[in-house]
Amino acid sequence: MALIYQGTKISPGLGMGQARVVEKLRLEPPAERPRDPEQELLRFRQCYDAAEEDLRKTVQEAQEKLGGHEAEILDAQLTLLQDEYAVLEPIQEAIRDEGLNMAQAIDKVLGGIVELFQQAADEYMRLRAGDAEDVRKRLLMRALGVTPRDYSVLPAGTILVAEELTPSDTIRMDLAHVSGIVTSRGGYYSHVGIISRNLGIPSVCGVPEAAEDGDTVLVDGEKGVVTVNPDEAELALFSERRREAEAEKQQLDVFRTVPSRTLDGEAGLICGNIGTAAEAQAALDAGAEGIGLLRSEFLYMDQPALPDEETQFQAYRQVLETMGGRPVIIRTLDVGGDKAIPALPMEREENPFLGCRAIRLCLERRELFRVQLRALLRAGSYGDLKIMFPMISTLGELRSAKAMLEEARKELLREGVPVRKVPVGIMVEVPAAAVIADCLAREADFFSIGTNDLIQYTMAAERGNPSVDHLYSPYDPAVLRLIAMTAGAAERAGILCGMCGEAAADPELLPIFWGMGVRELSMSPGAIIRSRAVLANWRAEDCRSLAEQVLLCGSRQEVQDILARTNGQQNARQV
């Protein structure tokens, strides 16, 4: 009898094949205390040096096999491993002063770091615990003499089943022959989520390890469903769905290079969201007409020192040159409270989502902000750069940030550095910004709606909190009305309104947003082609009519009822 599990969809697609259960390593430190702490310290240094050298080689291997993004993830782990104050010295102190053996000391120190990440309020930071856990496992394997099972050669059609996959796990695996991934832990922003979407491997998380080696497994990344040992009828139905999906994929590929426009020719842009400079090429290859969001935090995370102006300039320049004159929106530093930077001490806050983060932090740490603004302005000469300030909630914040940008521009000009005026926009992710969007539109060059935070702040429902998950939805009328207010204010002011939250790639919401006046949609590169195809099947007039109907709704159910009727009519027209 087939076993069916409902999990969380991480990467779209349909995969089928034979399960290969990834071994869960048992890394239990021995209870015995060392007789000679000094000798144990020497053994630890040998273990540490070997682990560091191994990780260096893995970073290089990642660069060659998987590209820049995965190498940067592992490079961040290398930085954590090399952190003298957070990792190296505390482990040595635990051996020297507490009399722990090296495995116990490694487990205590790195386990503590993992726990700190897991307790973070922000989902992204919680998932960073996987990186710290990877470093812990790497050191413990060396300390305990454990060798992991070899997954470098896998048969075609393998479905990987694991508790969780770390970056170093995936580097050692033959992913070219993997048809699907099922994990019990992880999330959308976990490493397995990122890499499976980049490689187009269907992936589902939140599923218990129910499969055994050799079981037939179906992975439905579209619905988040995993089926173990299906019967013949289920296999036949799934196989037919896969054939249809492959045919649809080939048909959609034409939308990789065509301009983004509605059926009746109304034009806009569909761009890519990226988290590192290395991802720009992948976005371009996926059909992005620009970068709608570059998260500049990658330059700051897990670094022992804050990135200097030259480091930032080179990274921003790389993205602009890669995009070859296409628009690139770079968001200034969005950290604080829930997102920690090792080189930037910050006070702990009881509610970091409502604390000193993003633009608030930058206006408080002016030198930090000044360095980034100078680097951005210098890079602006190498492409179509647009600067975006996150979490603007007042007109005063926008004016202060723009004033600092102008100061940096004049400073560079006095130094003889050629700079030009760069368009400046804001993220609308706080309800206050949507309410005063008409005022902000008079002083901003563009808007970009960040739906992830906008939903969270509007509904007072933390993203990723299962107890309030029923409230967190872009389909809620309150959220939709704030988006319409923002887009309408932008249209009246004659500025572009874009969207860079996850809802931008929702095929049901896309025509609504277009009908509201959103003309730039930015998303994960893997969603670009499908979104462009969806837009191409809608008339602009129908989009506006749909938006008007939705904005009259008072409940989410009413919104979904309208969408169900409209999508049925739309599908009938296409047939």
| Cα 305 to Cα 25: distance, rounded to the nearest angstrom | 34
| Cα 271 to Cα 282: distance, rounded to the nearest angstrom | 12
| Cα 83 to Cα 91: distance, rounded to the nearest angstrom | 11
Q: Which two tokens stand for residue 31?
A: 């209870």
- 49's CB contacts (< 8 A; 6+ apart) are none
Q: What dihedral do alpha carbons 200, 201, 206, 209 form, nearest 10°?
A: -170
Closest CA to 20 of 223, 251, 216: 216
On the CB side of 377, CA atoms within 13 Å amount to: 22
Distances (CA, A) of 119 to 115, 123, 410: 6, 10, 43
DSSP 8-state class, residue 261: B
- 406's CB contacts (< 8 A; 6+ apart) are none
| Cα 536 to Cα 315: distance, rounded to the nearest angstrom | 34
470 counts as catalytic: no
Q: Is the dihedral of CA 166, 127, 526, 315 positive or negative?
A: negative
Closest CA to 465 of 187, 163, 197, 162: 187
Distances (CA, A) of 400 to 309, 397, 443, 461: 21, 5, 12, 30
Residue showing tokens 């307790």: 119
- Catalytic residue, chosen from 205, 362, 500, 553, is 500
- Helix or strand (DSSP H, E) at 392: none
Collapsing DSSP to helix, strand or coil, 47 comes out as helix
Distances (CA, A) of 430 to 63, 190, 292, 394: 38, 25, 19, 10
- Catalytic residue, chosen from 191, 205, 362, 543, is 191
- Helix or strand (DSSP H, E) at 380: none
Crossing angle between the packed helical segments 477-493 and 556-574, to the nearest 10 degrees: 70
Closest CA to 281 of 68, 505, 75, 73: 68
Say if residues 131 and 80 touch (Cβ distance below 8 Å).
yes
Collapsing DSSP to helix, strand or coil, 227 comes out as strand
Closest CA to 161 of 360, 373, 371, 7: 7
> How many residues are listed for the chain in this entry?
575
Cβ count near 460 (within 10 Å)? 9
Q: How far is CA 283 from the centre of its chain?
A: 14
| Cα 333 to Cα 158: distance, rounded to the nearest angstrom | 40
191 counts as catalytic: yes
* Residues with active-site annotation: 191, 500
